Structure 1
Amino acid sequence: MDRTEPVTLTNMCMIKKNDNILVLDRNDPYWPGLTFPGGHVENHESFYDSVVREVKEETNLDIKNPRLCGIKQFYDENDHRYLVLFYIATEFTGTVKDSREGKLTWMTKEELFKHKLAYNFDRDLLVYFNPNIDEHILDGKRDELF
């Protein structure tokens, strides 16, 4: 029995500065709205290196010691597993600069929930903000948090 399957590996990072969180207002027509910076893991790239690189590309910040806080998984339009590793970073250097991905803004947690979020991102935020939840499973049959 084959125990392998096609998987897309991605990451997303909540960057915190005191009571503020860096949010990205995405330009993507398929997933517009507020979310956190992140992207795909490249071939033979470590998860850690990928989140550091993606944050640099999308924010101009050099994060240090990002902490894995949860995961999300779902199946894409090709029925391939899609896995998102959720990170939190509180240490960084550099100056925030918008990228082709969208506009960046510092917001409080309360302000974030008052804006238009990317589809289903409100459920992802529960993984970030509730220490008792570390997994979000989303597919055609269920949308559950564990």
Structure 2
Amino acid sequence: MNTIIERITEAIKDILIGLIKSCLDNMFTSVNEQVGTIAGQVGQTPQGWNAGIFNLIQNISQTVIVPIAGLIITFVLCYELITMVTQKNNFHEFETYNIFLWIFKAYVAIYLVTNTFNITMAVFDVGQHVVNNAAGVISGNTAVDASEAITRIVDALEDMELGDLFLLSIQDHKGNVLALDKVNDSYTGTTFPGGHVEANEIFQKSMIREVWEETGLTVEAPKLGGLYHWHKSGVHYVITLYKADKFTGELKSSEEGRVYWIPLEELKTKELATGMEHVLRILESEKVDECYMHLEADGYVGDLY
């Protein structure tokens, strides 16, 4: 049974790791393709981006916009010159710097209008130069090499183990079960003896060892009764439930808490540890052998199967 559980666990882990690795590979491949496309587009000049549109805009600028702008500037300059002459009493009160100022403004306006397209292209050229020389990032290799990161993630996933635990319901032949009032950690309340599986230890031997440490009893021929499991902080915790009615030894309590015999129905009335009501239903029912606890807003809720 333990070998089957271990193989199922490893198979599930392999499937999940494969899916996660595939998703990461596809994600980084898509990112690299998109970054490469953006890098190519950002590094293009207007001529390289679409030569046809570029030539069309250039022709419109030279044959339509520049002539219209020239007419407007001519009108403005003529109007300003006439105004200046009339205001200066037909040059009787004329100052030399006024004519030079008018000539300078006319020169600047004509130069800007006739070279607007070239100035705009110069701005694009400067932007392209800055982009292409930004530490060689865009014009060079834009691919994100995630192989090392993915390898580390896969290694971490492979090292992640299932949280292996167990509980054992021990019954005597008088209708009583062995209860443990657990007090030494966050999992408190009335429960059954149990514990953790150590490294390289099978479930049954681990269960016999832990029960002896907590109760002083050595159980014999335990039977698998069901599974109780949940996820928390990326770890899948699985409690394997056992039942036994054969044991030897003298009952004694341990630092885990007081152990004692109690009728099953009376046990149900005590302040049970979290999830014990589901454990009892699994161990009592022949139709229910698994409980999965899922987290909701008010806490964990159990689903029986």
Pairing 1:28–2:184 present: yes
Greater helix proportion = 2
Residue 108 of structure 1: aligned partner? 263
Higher RCO, 1 vs 2 (CA within 8 Å, ≥6 residues apart) = 1
Alpha-carbon separation, structure 1, partners of 2:241 and 2:302: 17
Deviations 1:8-66 (A, max 9, x none): 10111000001110000001341211000010001110111011111111101010001
Q: How far is 1:119 from its partner?
A: 1.5
3-state SS of 1:140 partner = strand
Select which of 199, 213, 225 maps to 1:43. 199
Residue 302 of structure 2: aligned partner? 143
Q: How far is 1:143 from its partner?
A: 1.8
Residue 81 of structure 1: aligned partner? 236
Q: How far is 1:107 from its partner?
A: 0.7
Taking structure 1 as the reference length, what is the TM-score of the superposition? 0.94
Alpha-carbon separation, structure 2, partners of 1:111 and 1:96: 20
Q: How far is 1:139 from its partner?
A: 1.6
Q: How far is 1:120 from its partner?
A: 2.0
Cα RMSD, aligned residues only: 1.4
Number of aligned residue pairs: 145
Q: Which runs of 5+ in 2 are unaligned?
A: 1-14, 19-157
Matched residue type, 1:91: K
Taking structure 2 as the reference length, what is the TM-score of the superposition? 0.46
Q: Work out the percentage of aligned pairs sharing the same amino acid.
A: 32
Residue 84 of structure 2: aligned partner? none
Q: Which runs of 5+ in 1 are unaligned?
A: none
Select which of 113, 121, 132 maps to 2:276. 121
Greater CA radius of gyration, 1 or 2? 2
3-state SS of 1:17 partner = coil
Alpha-carbon separation, structure 2, partners of 1:102 and 1:36: 11
Alpha-carbon separation, structure 2, partners of 1:24 and 1:143: 22
Alpha-carbon separation, structure 1, partners of 2:226 and 2:184: 24
* 8 A contact 2:184–2:255 mirrored in 1: no
Deviations 1:64-108 (A, max 9, x none): 0010010011012x2200000000010000010000000011011
* 8 A contact 2:180–2:260 mirrored in 1: yes
Residue 115 of structure 2: aligned partner? none
Q: CA 1:29–1:53 in 2, change beyond 3 Å: closer, same or farther?
A: closer
* 8 A contact 2:218–2:248 mirrored in 1: yes
Select which of 218, 230, 233 maps to 1:62. 218
Greater strand proportion = 1
